[in-house]
């Protein structure tokens, strides 16, 4: 059984609507924001520079902002998916270029405050002073939060564990060879903020009819299109019970990125 770790974007992936876009559109308007999205996809503008412009346009109190995002639905399969991976001790981290104060409240609405606090949420930091939204980015990258870093760190940690075990065996005089443990990184995303993570995952789920799916098709990045987290749960179950291999999953991902939109 492989060791599986799951990372996921929040806005537009776990939440069906993008909480950040809802607030930004209230300031600069949807059309202007989407034009900047296209420039990011064409690598004409960094996500971080866009974030500076976007959040400076928002003119809401925190209470008004939360009221706007309150109706946003959660992916219908996410809570069941999360319960499944928790019961199987599969590590899960939420990687977001969104704002911690929005994500934490949103998840508390849907799973309760106590359970929401247990989640690993790596996002940008924000505070609201009056009607001014002040954002502190998680890192200095052009992404505002380079999601690939967490995935690379996980891969490196796994490699180090393998090396440490091998050294321990050699020191103990053990000669029996064991099958090398497989490490599988699953990432779920939907849009422009997920581009850095897309190339690092072993299994990439891109929400159907969103920017990440289009980007992966254009740049021939292997992926699986998905509609709900039920599909993610099914794949992980298959890896665990042996009914799915990474060879088969890679074949499906290659086929998907070659398919015409």
Q: What is the DSSP string of 205-232?
A: EEETTSHHHHHHHHHT---EEESSHHHH
Report whether 137 contacts 130 (CB < 8 A). Answer: no
- The answer to whether residue 52 is catalytic is no
- 25 catalytic per annotation: no
pTM of the model: 0.90
Question: Could you tell me if 222 and 254 are in contact, meaning their C-beta atoms sit under 8 angstroms apart?
Answer: yes
Q: What is the full per-residue pLDDT of the chain (261 aa) written as tens digits?
A: 899 999 999 999 999 999 999 999 999 999 999 999 899 888 899 989 999 999 999 999 999 999 999 999 999 999 999 999 999 999 999 999 999 999 999 999 999 999 999 999 999 999 999 999 999 999 999 889 999 999 999 999 989 988 888 888 788 777 666 567 789 999 999 988 898 898 999 999 999 999 999 999 999 999 999 999 999 999 999 999 999 999 999 999 999 998 876
Strand locations in 131-182 (E): 132-136
């Amino acid at each position: 059984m492989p060791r599986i770790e799951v990372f996921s974007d929040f806005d537009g992936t776990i939440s069906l609507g993008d909480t950040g876009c809802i607030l930004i559109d209230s300031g600069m308007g949807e059309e202007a924001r989407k034009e900047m999205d296209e420039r990011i996809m064409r690598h004409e503008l960094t996500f971080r520079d866009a974030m500076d412009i976007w959040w400076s346009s928002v003119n809401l109190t925190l209470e008004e902002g939360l009221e706007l995002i309150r109706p946003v639905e959660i992916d219908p399969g996410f809570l069941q998916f999360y319960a499944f991976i928790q019961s199987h001790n599969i590590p899960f981290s939420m990687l977001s270029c969104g704002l911690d104060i929005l994500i934490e409240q949103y998840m508390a609405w849907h799973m309760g405050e106590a359970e929401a606090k247990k989640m690993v949420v790596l996002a940008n930091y924000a505070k609201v002073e009056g009607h001014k939204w002040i954002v502190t980015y998680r890192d200095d990258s052009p992404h505002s939060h380079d999601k690939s870093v967490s995935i690379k760190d996980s891969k490196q940690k796994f490699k180090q564990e393998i090396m440490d075990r091998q050294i321990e065996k050699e020191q103990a005089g053990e000669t029996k060879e064991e099958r090398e443990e497989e490490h599988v990184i699953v990432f779920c995303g939907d849009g422009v903020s997920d581009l850095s993570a897309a190339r690092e995952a072993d299994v990439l789920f891109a929400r159907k009819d969103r920017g990440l799916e289009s980007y992966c098709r254009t740049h021939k990045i292997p992926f699986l299109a998905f509609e709900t987290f039920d599909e993610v749960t099914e794949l992980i179950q298959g890896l665990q019970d042996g009914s799915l291999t990474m060879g088969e999953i890679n074949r499906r991902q290659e086929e998907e990125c070659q398919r015409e939109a």
